[in-house]
């Protein structure tokens, strides 16, 4: 029995080795068959056939000056002009200019909730922990604000400066004696 066990183990190992060799060969053959297909699909890609509305040289390329370029290449000026004269800019401007004012009422639910928290502070926090102590606060401050514009809107202004010299020139002749 001692001689048969190593023989059986050798046969099983040999069959496993033969099986792994054939699996390796099949994988290697498959890899050789598809070799280069990925790079050829990238090299042969024609975006105008695959991407609707593709343009190899869009107007926006004038704003890109390369990786190391500084500034915005006129993007801000063109954006400001489009904002002022284009339909989209006009529509946005009209929407926030004609929007009704946001008026906050002292009776608004979120303000009432805040007042309730102030009134129930002791039951919420209580004298829990060493850092907590009951204190009487006798003031609440409410301020009414009216929002007339959206703070997220950025506008760019341009200024023109002009210098003008005003004055007169006079000549005076003096005789000095030493």
β-sheet bridge partners, residue 103 = 146
Tokens 């000056």 label which residue? 65
pLDDT attached to residue 157: 62
Is 80:93 a contact under the CB 8 Å cutoff?
Answer: no
Task: Indicate whether 163 pLDDT > 80.
Answer: no
Collapsed DSSP state (helix, strand, coil) of residue 146: strand
Interval 72-89: pLDDT, tens: 767 888 888 888 898 988
Is 150:96 a contact under the CB 8 Å cutoff?
Answer: yes
Integer angstrom CA distances of residue 73 from 66, 77, 79, 127: 11, 9, 11, 62
Interval 116-127: pLDDT, tens: 888 887 777 666
Compute the radius of gyration of the chain from its Cα atoms: 41
Collapsed DSSP state (helix, strand, coil) of residue 102: strand
pLDDT attached to residue 170: 78
Task: Indicate whether 147 pLDDT > 70.
Answer: no
pLDDT attached to residue 42: 80
pLDDT attached to residue 12: 55
On average, the pLDDT of the chain sits at 76
Task: Indicate whether 53 pLDDT > 80.
Answer: yes
Is 80:156 a contact under the CB 8 Å cutoff?
Answer: yes
Q: Which of 18-22, 32-36, 88-92, 154-158 has the highest mean pLDDT?
A: 88-92
Tokens 């005076």 label which residue? 172
């Amino acid at each position: 029995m001692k001689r048969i066990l190593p023989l059986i183990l050798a046969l099983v190992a040999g069959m496993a080795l033969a099986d792994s060799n054939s699996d390796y060969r099949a994988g290697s053959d498959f890899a050789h068959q598809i070799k280069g297909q990925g790079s050829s699909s990238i090299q042969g890609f024609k975006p105008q056939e695959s991407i609707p509305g593709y343009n190899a040289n869009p107007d926006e390329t004038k704003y890109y000056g390369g990786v190391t370029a500084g500034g915005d290449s006129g993007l801000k000026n063109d954006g400001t002009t489009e904002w002022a004269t284009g339909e989209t800019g006009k529509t946005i401007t009209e929407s926030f200019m004609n929007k009704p004012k946001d008026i906050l009422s002292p009776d608004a639910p979120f303000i009432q909730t805040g007042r309730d928290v102030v009134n129930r502070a002791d039951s919420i926090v209580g004298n829990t922990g060493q850092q907590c102590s009951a204190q009487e606060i006798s003031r609440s401050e409410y301020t009414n604000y009216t929002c007339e514009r959206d703070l997220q809107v950025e506008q760019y202004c341009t200024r023109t400066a002009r210098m003008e010299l005003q004055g007169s020139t006079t000549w005076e002749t003096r005789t000095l004696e030493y």
